């Protein structure tokens, strides 16, 4: 990682200072394949405020020269949207043991420098400090033959596996958003991934 990159963690109401940065990054990065998300800053800012309303939340910031170039988010699963909670409730998970990783968005020019690993490690540390023993996140499922899949596209699955995460068989959720190639909102299936970890001992 470049010495000019600083990684910082903020939680709860301290997140409010970075809502606009995170909203702009989400719109820019999620417009890329595989999400192809066509969003608005006003919606994003409102959505991201949910992180500031719970003390369990975390924003891991990648910054250089005072500019936020990447954000990775998380919160206790019971504080997340019902769409993300329900599959775990149905599967018999104790929600209070699970920490949910939201999004990780990083400008293209800063990728491949170890920032993604730092995002995971910082969120995992935050989860341990909360006494959580299981981490999860979800990723959209796209067919290999998708017409907007870029030539040479490299999915993040191998990276996630190197970080110790595996797909959770049978655990998916459905979430809708408007894509760059659709006139209206479309429902998408997202696959959950997970990893057990030892909670912090006091």
Domain spans of the chain, in order of start: 6-196
Q: What is the mean pLDDT of residues 143-152?
A: 94
pTM above 0.75, yes or no: yes
Query: Above 60 in pLDDT, residue 201?
Result: no
Strands (DSSP E) found in 77-119: 98-106
What is the predicted pLDDT for the residue at 199?
66
- Residue from 149, 114, 199, 110 nearest 32 by CA: 149
What is the predicted pLDDT for the residue at 34?
96
In this prediction, what percent of the chain has a pLDDT beyond 70? Answer: 98
Query: Above 60 in pLDDT, residue 92?
Result: yes
Torsion 47-135-1-61 (CA) sign: positive
- Give the gyration radius of the chain's Cα atoms: 16
Q: What is the mean pLDDT of residues 178-187?
A: 93
What is the predicted pLDDT for the residue at 93?
93
On average, the pLDDT of the chain sits at: 94
Q: What is the mean pLDDT of residues 44-71?
A: 95
Q: What is the DSSP letter of 124?
A: H
Place of tokens 């919160």: 75
CATH 3.40.630.30 fits 6-196, yes or no: yes
What is the predicted pLDDT for the residue at 198?
76
Query: Above 80 in pLDDT, residue 36?
Result: yes
């Amino acid at each position: 990682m470049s010495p000019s990159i600083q990684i910082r963690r903020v939680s709860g109401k301290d997140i409010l200072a970075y809502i606009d940065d995170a909203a702009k990054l989400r719109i820019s990065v999620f417009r890329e394949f595989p999400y192809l998300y066509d969003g608005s800053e006003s919606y994003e800012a409102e959505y991201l405020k949910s992180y500031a309303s719970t003390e369990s939340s975390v924003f891991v910031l990648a910054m250089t020269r005072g500019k936020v170039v990447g954000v990775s988010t998380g919160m206790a699963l019971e504080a997340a949207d019902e769409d993300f909670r329900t599959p775990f409730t149905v599967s018999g998970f104790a929600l209070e043991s699970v920490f949910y990783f939201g999004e990780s968005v990083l400008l293209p020019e800063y990728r491949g420098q170890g920032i993604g690993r730092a995002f995971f490690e910082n969120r995992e540390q935050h989860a341990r400090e909360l006494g959580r023993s299981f981490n999860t996140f979800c990723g959209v499922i796209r067919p290999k033959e998708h017409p907007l899949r870029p030539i040479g596209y490299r999915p993040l699955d191998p990276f996630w596996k190197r970080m110790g995460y595996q797909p959770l068989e049978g655990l998916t959720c459905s979430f809708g958003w408007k894509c760059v190639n659709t006139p209206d909102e479309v429902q998408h299936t997202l696959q959950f991934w997970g990893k057990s970890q030892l909670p912090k001992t006091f």
